[in-house]
Amino acid sequence: MAAYNTPHLRAALALPEGLHVRTRALAEQWRQSADFPESLIKMALNHFNQAPFITL
């Protein structure tokens, strides 16, 4: 994705170490599917608005 080629944006979107494998896979799927950073954010918002999730 060409829109991710700025160092600041890459740093902001970097995934932290220790993420669950499924979480990392979902984030990578969104990243590969998105044409622009805004598209990735929209995918994440749609996911969390439609699917229940648990925080501890």
**Sequence-separated (6 or more) residues with CB below 8 Å from residue 44:** 30
Confidence (pLDDT) at 16: 86
φ/ψ (deg, to 5) at 5: -90, 10
**DSSP designation for 4:** G
Confidence (pLDDT) at 29: 92
DSSP assignment of 11-54 equals HHHPPPTT--HHHHHHHHHHHHH-SSHHHHHHHHHHHHHHS---
Is the pTM above the cut of 0.75? Answer: no
Extract the residue ranges of the chain whose pLDDT is less than 70: 1-4, 53, 55-56
Confidence (pLDDT) at 21: 92
